[in-house]
Structure 1
Amino acid sequence: MEGSSESASLTQGLQIVRLVADREKWGRRLLGVSQLAAELGMEQSRVSRLTRELCDLGLLERIEKGPFRVGSRFFTLASSLNTGWVREARTELEILVAELGLRSRVFVRDGFRAILLRSSTNDGLPGSFVKPGMVTPVWCTGSGRALLWDHSPEAIEALLRDVNFVGVGGPSAAHSPAEVIDLMDRDRSRGFVLAAEEFEHGVHELAAPIRNPEGGIAASVSVLGDTAEIQPGNKRILKALTAAADRLSSCV
């Protein structure tokens, strides 16, 4: 139920961003909370909460109580899709699909959130919330925790100190910075991130960091499947995943 609630919020948030962006793109009258709620058939209180969160993320912006426009983070994300390594990511994700038959994704970090840049063509259905710009927590997703690979325990504690863990994630999600630190220690000891039902019930995710030329982490790449599809000891999956991360690192 928790995963379903989170997915619904992401879906509705993306619907709001798409509507605002489309209206601005075509020069149509911009909308406030009540007009957005009416256009999308949502409760006004829910639209009010979601737009506040989207403004906090920088995906939307609003002057006083005027209509909404797309925010600076939206344009930053859009421009990042034109860089070389992100273009290459499309090919790498499809290679993973061809080799493994698994869904695959590339994320970047924004504070304690992970933002989806690319997903494979077999990831999601029409109307799915899995679209570029999807926001998920860094602490309970494989792709998110791969973005924390170089973080010290102190850095993880500082990053997640004010996070509300209640009601977020799947049955195996961490509920404190200390639990995230323990998961990261476990994963570093074996060289990859495994998130087993940490965000969605029944979904397992293997992930690896993508590094920039200075050695820092630029993004993460992951593959997702159910318990039978994702086995932490499956050398074929790990080899394909780490090879994709290495190739993308060479393009950053």
Structure 2
Amino acid sequence: MDSSSEASSMAQGLRIVRLVADREKWGRRLLGVSQLAAELEMEQSRVSRLTQELCELGLLERVERGPFRTGPRFFGLAAALNTGWVRESRSELEALVASFGLRARVSVREGFRVILLRASSNDAVPGSFVKPGMVTPVWCTGSGRALLWDHGTPAVEALLEGVNFIGVGGPGAAHSPQEVAELLDRDRARGFILAEEEFEHGVYELAVPVRRADGSILAALSVLGGRAEIESGTDDIAAALTAAGQRLGSNDGRARENDGRKGLAG
């Protein structure tokens, strides 16, 4: 299992979906394989393979080898991102920015990948890759380890078995499942994740898990900044993140309760 190549494929697939959705949204001419490849500066054979997979997933659709348009599952995912706790996360992220001046993110996990759902307004510059859908490794990011909070050593080893750690992450990155498990043990003792230059040189990330009402992990909430910014207010930042995570988790619970009531009413 080559984690870096899978993450790259997911990122490129998301770029394709984003381009198709944007052109459809603004009423621009829809594109086929060759036009998508040219627009995204990708190999045509790779675009062909990825669009086929995206169609199989229902994120794109294509009628009789015509141009691509967004598929039915895309709209289901888009609707999910505008309900409940994900919608509420925007105000929580901006509140963290206002309090600490740090970049803030909310992320979820898919296997050994972390997927960014939402980032604060100060977390990207024009041309940045920091956008919803961005994929990072679970083992060398603060948000990733927050999402693994409940994983014991055997579960971490099983999840990361065969992962290629070489050349991934910053100077503080773990290089084996055992190192990831040891960092988790260290962080659980203090109640939050602190990743010191694990993904990028010079970047510190403080993160906590967001839990559902049943205690299971829903997402990760994190802030990023320089060493001095994080270390000067670690306890206050961790407390603010924990409180924000509790609010988001309770919002998810209320959304599920409302959905259940709608189902009974139907």
TM-score category (smaller protein):
0.7 to 0.9
Q: What TM-score, normalized by structure 1, do the two folds share?
A: 0.82
Match of 2:130 in 1: 130
Q: Could you tell which deviates more after superposition, 127-136 or 226-235? A: 226-235
Contact 1:197 1:203 in 2 (8 A): yes
Shift of 1:73: 6.8
Q: Secondary structure at the match of 1:229?
A: helix
Q: Could you tell which deviates more after superposition, 40-49 or 176-185? A: 40-49
Q: Could you tell which deviates more after superposition, 126-135 or 101-110? A: 126-135
Q: Pick the structure with greater CA Rg.
A: 2
Shift of 1:60: 5.5
Q: Secondary structure at the match of 2:162?
A: coil
Distance 1:182-1:45 versus aligned 2 partners, 3 A rule = farther
Q: Which amino acid aligns with 1:235?
A: D
Shift of 1:15: 3.6
Match of 1:121 in 2: 121
| CA–CA distance in structure 2, aligned partners of residues 69 and 178 of structure 1 | 44
Match of 1:242 in 2: 242
Shift of 1:105: 0.4
Listed one character per residue, the Cα deviations across residues 113-154 of structure 1 (whole Å, up to 9, x for unaligned) are 111111111111122111111111111111111011011211
Distance 1:174-1:18 versus aligned 2 partners, 3 A rule = same
Q: Which amino acid aligns with 1:131?
A: K
Distance 1:176-1:37 versus aligned 2 partners, 3 A rule = same
Listed one character per residue, the Cα deviations across residues 63-101 of structure 1 (whole Å, up to 9, x for unaligned) are 8xx676657775454232122111111111111011111
Contact 1:11 1:129 in 2 (8 A): no
Match of 1:31 in 2: 32
| CA–CA distance in structure 2, aligned partners of residues 21 and 219 of structure 1 | 25
| CA–CA distance in structure 1, aligned partners of residues 171 and 45 of structure 2 | 28
| CA–CA distance in structure 1, aligned partners of residues 58 and 142 of structure 2 | 23
Match of 1:168 in 2: 168
- Aligned: 1:93 with 2:93: yes
Q: Secondary structure at the match of 1:245?
A: helix
Match of 1:219 in 2: 219
More helix by share: 2
| CA–CA distance in structure 1, aligned partners of residues 168 and 70 of structure 2 | 26
Q: Secondary structure at the match of 1:228?
A: helix
- Identity fraction in percent: 67
| CA–CA distance in structure 2, aligned partners of residues 127 and 222 of structure 1 | 22
Match of 1:40 in 2: 40
Contact 1:194 1:232 in 2 (8 A): no
Distance 1:239-1:109 versus aligned 2 partners, 3 A rule = same
Distance 1:18-1:166 versus aligned 2 partners, 3 A rule = same
Q: CA RMSD in A?
A: 3.3
Q: Secondary structure at the match of 1:118?
A: strand
| CA–CA distance in structure 2, aligned partners of residues 41 and 186 of structure 1 | 43
Q: Secondary structure at the match of 2:159?
A: helix
